[in-house]
Amino acid sequence: MEFNKTTIKKVLKITLKSFLVIFYVIFVGTLIIGGIVAGIMTLIPDEAKKPCYLGYYAHCSFTPYSTLILFAMTVVGTVLLIKLIKYFKRQYNKVIEKRPILRTYINK
């Protein structure tokens, strides 16, 4: 197998793109899971020096606002995940349109 500049560029492009997709998936997963877990943890009653804004001693004294911020972070992560899924569907449909043989096997 002989390597020329075009094949090396293609391999580097595919490698970089797959690395970015993996990073994106990890980032979005962290946004969603971290936002949900931390948002729930802020609501847990706990011993604290001062009560939260809702009137009880919570794990976080900034409770209603921090919970809303963390759940907003989860919503942003969910929107980014939906955009990623739509991107993969578009790429999948492009591959199916280019290869009509695949379309006949998949539609059966």
- The answer to whether 61 and 46 have CB atoms below 8 angstroms apart is no
- The answer to whether 63 and 53 have CB atoms below 8 angstroms apart is yes
Instruction: Band the pLDDT of 1: cuts 50, 70, 90.
Output: low
Distance CA 99, CA 91 (A): 13
Q: What is the pLDDT of residues 3-29, one digit of tens each?
A: 788 888 888 999 999 999 999 999 999
Confidence (pTM): 0.76
Instruction: State in Å, rounded, how far the first CA of the chain is from the last one.
Output: 37
What pLDDT shows up at residue 104?
60
108 membership: H or E segment, kind and range: none
Q: What is the pLDDT of residues 31-82, one digit of tens each?
A: 999 999 999 999 999 888 888 888 899 988 888 999 999 999 999 999 999 9
In terms of Cα–Cα distance, which of 20, 63, 8 is closest to 39? 63
- The answer to whether 42 and 70 have CB atoms below 8 angstroms apart is yes
